[in-house]
Structure 1
Amino acid sequence: MIEVAGSMPHFIAIIANKSKPKNCVNSSITLLRNAQQRGMETIDADWIRKRLSGKRGEKSALATALGVGPDVVSKILKGERSVHASEIPKVIEFFASQDTRRESARLRLLQEIQTLDEQEARFLLGSLGVYRGQRREEEP
């Protein structure tokens, strides 16, 4: 079990419970509850799944970032393997860099929008409305 205090990418500490003896289960549960009460995040399969966008090749890119094969990422996501302490900084960096790219794209879009004339702005709004309408029709 791995926890990260604070929010990504500004984490304060990483706590790794590497030992797996049977009597460690209760201490792991206690550690998890204490971490959650302090606002810490547990880096596990659920944490990773919540951040995956579903884009093609994303799991493979995560595997590359971790320096493991795609089968290892699959095992992590299935709960058959835990995230190792040494992999935590790589996982956090992988998702932090994705957030940075998204924010950068949004910023560029906002900058471009500011340069539009009235006609271009109306066209863009109309196109966006059509696009969103198509997305709603495609959703189950």
Structure 2
Amino acid sequence: MELIDRNWLQSHLKDNRGEQARLARETGISPDKISKILKGARQVQANEAPLIWKFFYPDQPQTSPEEVKELLELWSRLSPEERDFLLKSAKGLLSPLDPSTHRSS
């Protein structure tokens, strides 16, 4: 899954009126929180990213909540160096399949 942050969300929201409200309604994330994310006053939380992803890409496979929880628990136990290594390794594994993984960290 891509990093879902303010810029990602802004680039995926169309100029259609009401899309931000629909995002809030369908994900269960309050309109206030989405507005704060778009203004840069709040970051997308780990539990919100899969919901936002599913809103924009409903047909793509999604990681189960249990898998996300396990990954986050493991991630939190890693040092910054280990996290960097893991991210680079994952991008290396995916790069033949997806050119978007060549983003800089």
TM-score calculated relative to the size of structure 1: 0.39
2:34 is aligned to: 73
1:101 is aligned to: none
- Counterpart selection for 1:92 from 35, 39, 53: 53
Gaps of 5+ in 2: 60-105
How many Å separate the matches in 2 of 1:72 and 1:66? Answer: 12
1:70 maps to amino acid = P
How many Å separate the matches in 1 of 2:34 and 2:23? Answer: 8
2:3 is aligned to: 42
1:58 Cα shift? 0.3
Mapping of 1:1-140 within 5 angstroms? 4=1, 41-97=2-58
1:70 Cα shift? 1.1
1:14 is aligned to: none
Verify the 8 A CA contact 2:23 2:55 in the aligned structure 1. Answer: yes
1:84 maps to amino acid = Q
Gaps of 5+ in 1: 5-40, 99-140
1:19-73, CA deviations, whole angstroms, 9 ceiling, x for partnerless residues?
A: xxxxxxxxxxxxxxxxxxxxxx321010011111111110001111221221111
Deviation above 4 Å: which 4+ runs of structure 1? none
Verify the 8 A CA contact 1:65 1:91 in the aligned structure 2. Answer: no
Verify the 8 A CA contact 2:5 2:43 in the aligned structure 1. Answer: yes
1:84 Cα shift? 0.7
How many Å separate the matches in 1 of 2:19 and 2:12? Answer: 11
- Larger gyration radius, structure 1 or structure 2: 1
What value does the CA root-mean-square deviation take over the aligned residues?
1.6
Structure with greater proportional strand content: 1
How many Å separate the matches in 1 of 2:13 and 2:38? Answer: 11
Larger RCO (CA within 8 A; separation ≥ 6): 1
